[in-house]
Structure 1
Amino acid sequence: MSKFVEQFDMYIKAHDAFRAGKNAEGLSATLFLLANGIVKPNARELYELWESSVYGGHGSDELFLMILDLGLIPDILKDAKSGSFDILTEFVERVGSLDQDTKLGILKAI
């Protein structure tokens, strides 16, 4: 099996784990992809993994904070604004719950 196919399989496993409510397992697969992957997940893919965790019953705080730490929230919001894809209200609420300085930094980046 090629490295790309293995990574794609890991990406699918992460989605499945998050949808099943197994956030620790999904996060483990996501971290593996970020640390070892030739193809690293982009902002939208990480958002979609977080979205899967919401569908699994509880949005992964760790994954949201990872997206925040990687500085990808502005990219997600820009893509959503342009109509590339829709974001969940839970994501907007989560961004809204951040401290004022963090929200200001996100707004400046947009």
Structure 2
Amino acid sequence: MSRFVEQFDMFMKAHEAFKAGRNSEGLSATLFLLVNGIVKPSARELYELWESSVYGDCGSEELFLTMLDLEMIPDILREAKAGKFDILKDFVDAVARLDEDTQYKVLKAI
């Protein structure tokens, strides 16, 4: 199996783990892909993994903070504003829970 196929398989397993509520397993696979992957997950793909964790009834705070650290949240909000995809209210709520300085930084980047 090629490395790309293996990484795609790992990406899909991360989705499944998040949906099943196994956040640590999903986060482990996601972080491996970010660090070692040939193809790095985009902001939208990371959002979709986070969305899977919400559907698994335990939204991954760690994945949300990873997206924040990687400065992907403004990209996600821009794409959603442009109508490329819909975001969950839970995501907006997570942004609202950030401290004011971080919120300002995120909104300024949009």
| TM-score, reference length from structure 2 | 0.99
Aligned pairs for 1:17-56 (under 5 A) are: 17-56=17-56
Distance 1:45 1:90 in 2: 17
Deviation by residue 1:9-56 (Cα, 9 ceiling, x = unmatched): 000000000000000000000011011100000100000000000000
Q: For residue 85 of structure 2, what is the aligned residue in structure 1?
A: 85
Q: For residue 69 of structure 1, what is the aligned residue in structure 2?
A: 69
Q: For residue 103 of structure 2, what is the aligned residue in structure 1?
A: 103
Within the alignment, does 1:57 sit opposite 2:57 as a pair? yes
Distance 1:51 1:22 in 2: 13
How far apart are residue 74 of structure 1 and its match?
0.3
Two-structure CA RMSD over aligned residues (Å)? 0.4
SS in 1 for 2:84: coil
How far apart are residue 107 of structure 1 and its match?
1.0
Aligned pairs for 1:6-25 (under 5 A) are: 6-25=6-25
Q: Runs of 5+ in structure 1 lacking a partner?
A: none
Within the alignment, does 1:2 sit opposite 2:11 as a pair? no
Q: Runs of 5+ in structure 2 lacking a partner?
A: none
Q: Counterpart amino acid of 1:18?
A: F
Aligned length: 110
Identity in percent: 72
The structure 1 segments of at least 4 consecutive aligned residues displaced by more than 4 Å after TM superposition are: none
SS in 2 for 1:98: coil
How far apart are residue 105 of structure 1 and its match?
0.4
| TM-score, reference length from structure 1 | 0.99
Distance 1:54 1:13 in 2: 16
Distance 1:18 1:108 in 2: 30
